[in-house]
Homo-oligomer: A and B are copies of this chain.
Amino acid sequence: MSKWLEESIEPGFRASYKLDKILASTTSEFQHVDLVDIEPFGRSLVIDGLLQSCRCDEFVYHECLVHPAMLMHPNPKTVYIGGGGEGSTAREVLRHKSVEKCVMVDIDKDVVQFCKDHLDENAEAFADKRLDLVISCAKAYLEQNDTKFDVIIMDLDDPLEGGPCYQLYSTEFYTFLKSKLNPGGIIVTQSGQSGIKQHTLVFTPIHNTLKSVFPNTVPYNQAIYSFLDEWGWNVALPEGAKPPAKFSPEEVDKLIEERISGELKFMDGCSWQGIWALSKVHRKSLAAETVVMSVNNKNHRFMCNPGIATIAEENAKRQKTA
């Protein structure tokens, strides 16, 4: 008798991981969370049926999400994180010595508390005085506060059909975000699976949508073993900014040495060269992409978000009837 975690990667493709132990579990208003030990990837966080991050390689994802945007900004003092409840994104942001304030806004207080309680690797970040941790909707917070930011990092679930995050990937939201950036500010967003088969699901649409508001949007990607695919991000740079691929390995290594505390595990000048070098297949798909995600267009391959409030209501209903 053995225990297994089974993940449906795509139709007709299942991955099964031997489940050594369920260390802790909780069900919040929005999601179900498990902290588990699985044989191939070690300690792992599973949120609502998604292998969210595994100790064996979560640093690849988080270093790729955070450091390019941070290093390309000349002096990032204020940073906004939308989502990121796990704490690892904040951890990487707070390594930057220039950072004076990092506002992290996650909607799920139970998940945040769960991660605070159980993820030792992020304990220091959660305790950092520069971190302003807010439980709220990532959009509502920005609407209700006047603060502007040097770097905005969107670390949310994919904009999938009916999912709660769809509107936070829309052209309308990106237009709004523009007003929340300090001059010279940079936005980066996680952008889903980006391997040779799946990169048109959300990676190219997110790219095209962000680009509709920020013409100097640059896509990048990196293989992540525990995600069983490459993963993608898109960074919106100020117009006229130096293209990321033009940073030499030496320049990047120098920036890291000057501006980041401690040692990065994944990112350095050479790793940097790799993430911007998208393949011919990817570049063709990016060039061909026409979808601009909007809260108004309900006819394309994503369903529009019924609103976060609605999701919470539905969850509440489900819990009552369960």
Give A contacts to B, CB under 8 Å.
Answer: 1-19, 22, 38-40, 46, 49-51, 56-57, 60, 195-198, 223-225, 228-230, 245, 264-268, 270-281, 283
Contacts and interface: CB of A to CB of B under 8 A. Distances in A.
A36 B5 CA distance: 15
Given A2-B5, A40-B197, A266-B280, 17 more contacts: A1-B49, A3-B5, A4-B5, A4-B16, A11-B40, A12-B18, A12-B38, A13-B17, A60-B196, A195-B225, A225-B229, A245-B273, A264-B280, A265-B281, A268-B279, A270-B277, A272-B277
A307 to B, nearest CB: 25
Contacts of A228: 15, 228
5 contacts: A2-B49, A13-B40, A198-B225, A223-B223, A272-B277
Copy count, this protein chain: 4
Contact of A271 (B19, B230, B280): B280
A272 B274 CA distance: 10
Per DSSP, are chain A's interface residues mostly helix, strand or loop, or mixed? Answer: mixed
B270 A278 contact: yes
B1 A4 contact: no
Contact of A279 (B271, B278, B283): B271
A152 B40 CA distance: 36
A51 B14 CA distance: 15
Contacts of A270: 277-280, 283
Contacts of A19: 3
Contacts of A12: 17-18, 38-40
A309 to B, nearest CB: 25
Contacts of A267: 280
B16 A57 contact: no
Contacts of A57: 196-197
Nearest to A229: B225
Contacts of A2: 5-6, 49
A202 to B, nearest CB: 16
Contacts of A277: 270-275, 277
Contacts of A3: 3-6, 19, 22
Nearest to A4: B4
Contacts of A39: 11-13
A57 B264 CA distance: 32
Contacts of A5: 1-4
A156 B197 CA distance: 26
Contact of A274 (B40, B197, B265, B279): B279
Contact of A225 (B8, B40, B196, B276): B196
A15 B17 contact: no
The 5 closest A-B pairs by CB, nearest first: A12-B39, A274-B277, A12-B18, A223-B223, A13-B40
B18 A15 contact: no
